[in-house]
A and B are shown apart, each in its own frame.
Chain A
């Protein structure tokens, strides 16, 4: 990077909190900050491909408006003027919402998601829409109809999924903040493999209105960031009751910002999930996880090994419940009211046009899951598959109830392995599904969970994440653990983990 670019290079490496403070004090303008990030996107995103749509002009116009607001002495929130990357499964009027699918290519939504509206109400600058596995079905972004996102740590590897675009954008300093959505790990697993922070709020903690539904009983929007406090501030902005989402919780948002600032876990009981270790776990993942647990113990936590015997059945139950819900949710893509339509030659029937459109518009993984869902819900198989999976869901919730009667939080590796090579698992759906082994139970039970970076695996130099799970509406506990880990690890490392990130594409 040349010397005259240094100021922009300094801007993009700052935290959202610091940027917010400087924008408010006038030390930096939101326009300056927004432009620095847009320049960064222009510089690295050609290869990284974290964004599906960059909304540069509108972002700069919003930034100018926010600068004027601040100059006029208006009261603004802590993230006013700070840029953000929005996962392309949440609607934002004026920009296409594709969900990574050809069936919605170029679709301009007529309304804003509640999450989007809250971001705009809090004067956050939306830079654009980020890449994802089609309709959030995947763990690598390889299922995006618009091509995969790369991992900033190694461009030959996956950035996780489905929210690989949001995680990669944050890790590569294209944006200090991003929004993800987590159905089975789509915020936490990308956070883990990119060395960033990702939080899935309690189900119902943030609104699903305007989030194009994958599995309605599991989907949950949440924050992606480079630091724990940044994630907490974004969590605070997007969370809270929304009458437009009938499963939204009408209770105060837990004090996540206070928890992130307190960074105290003295006396906290931390349960280590016995079932999430051993065969299938990379040695470096297990090593960094163990070290982090030891660290928590040395900082005053009481470590207790906990068994959750039904967690091993979470993966099969999930791959019945999710396809069942998605096969009905995606029935709305029928070529009639929005999106793609093919084969409408004046002769073909609506049903034929529908079938031809869905064939042309959906990718392989979406078809696989719709067909599995159709099978699981069909008469004769319903009880053996979907019915049984719903019982497993009960057993998993009971495991959590038992565990949380003994401990305040549970911890495990966020994902069994570090980032794998692009293309390595595309033809093996079952191997791909294993990436979400540790993250799925929390979705099935609807509690709060997060992934925090705990170092690089010695064998491959790639990031490892530690997952924290807390009871419903105890989201603040995630931030207490995350903040303690972050402060202690960064002082041991001499700086953030992302300081060790190679300049994107440098190694190639």
Chain B
């Protein structure tokens, strides 16, 4: 009897020791809910705490939740949650210092957590490689030159890597730094206008990559430059935002955007690697997002006489 009681105690103790507390910090949105649910399913042996923040939530609110729930690990969805964690790293209390985190759905994550040793994660922006190669498989025209307006102050690393990745596919990515003549909106917009052309520096452009950057897609430029050019040039505009391919926007021809369930699996895998194998998050680093969904605006494609491979259109969400 004593042996049985001891065995049960050992089993219970082992289970409670191996189960960690994972606290998710996110906004209240359908997209984030889907990612959180996937993480919770994949890591169901651990205890989950959900902290929903608002735009006006402050660090003290976050810190109070950390102190109350005593998480071992944080899943940070959005830049605000990442900023809270960065601040938390400065706390001296012993019960907080061990906390590590994984993040996604935060913009420009690699840049934001550069050299950080306590946060790993998944880049939320679908990489140029994925957007361009997924688009290429749908069209029966060669795609060899792609133009990408970008801001060097924040996205140089991303563009450099994208150029190398696409080069291996025989695709020349021409990055145009639209801050070259100044960082003010007017200067940026002037260079965007110059960059959005059928031919750039004597090279025929096969596609234009729309950046997920509010500074470049600013209010002044969006309708007067981006929409106007997308509708007047004979070049497909590609992006990672589904709604830009909608009928209402009539803007991009193709989008490859995050598959949120796959993203949840990918983040859960990183968290699991840290919790189960003890791999340091610094070693896990920041990975590219892998799983995507695709959307193709057929009307836009027709408007620019883009030859499509009809047998491949079943795999994408077509907008007509």
- Note whether A and B form a binding pair: no
Q: Which residues of B contact A (CB under 8 A)?
A: none
Q: Which residues of A contact B (CB under 8 A)?
A: none
